[in-house]
Amino acid sequence: MQGNPEVVAYLNQLLAGELAARDQYFIHARMYHEWGYGKLSERSQHEMQEETDHAAALIARVLLLEGTPAMTPEPVVPGKDVPDMLKNDLAVEFKVRDALKKGIALCEQKQDYVSRAMLIEQLKDTEEDHAHWLETQLELIDAMGLQNYLQSQS
């Protein structure tokens, strides 16, 4: 089924963001594991899988619309320490959130309601799960102090 070229191009833009988010969570999961923060490692692996699922949905949609998935991720910005890693992941989620909102508006304008529905689901996951969890972790660091937080993540 031939899709709107603007929608296909934008879905590919979103794909680049999801691939970058996946890769950033992947490196952070390995770093957390190396440093002995098992809980953070597990959560980052969970987030990596969800970003992979988002990317897979975008790939499937691009293919259905007779496009070619662009598999080049945006640049990844790994953190240097736990707070930096959480902040960098949150920045990625905010960037993805804003891009999803623009994509939803474009799909609405081009009357691609199936792509729109998929992006709404991804937006919900980005806001209610990913970004919310990261914000909570940063608040916990502020409330309990970094050392206590890190101890709780071992």
pLDDT tens-digit series, residues 102-150: 999 999 999 999 999 999 999 999 999 999 999 999 999 999 999 999 9
Give this prediction's pTM. Answer: 0.95
pLDDT band at 35 (very low <50, low <70, confident <90, very high): very high
pLDDT at residue 1 greater than cutoff 90: no
pLDDT at residue 72 greater than cutoff 90: yes
Give me the pLDDT at residue 84, please.
98
Burial of 89-124, coded b for 16+ CB within 10 Å and e otherwise, reads bbebbeebbebbeebbebbeebebeebbebbeebbe
**Is it true that domain 5-152 has CATH number 2.40.40.20?**
no
Contacts of 50 (CB under 8 A, 6+ apart): 125, 129, 130
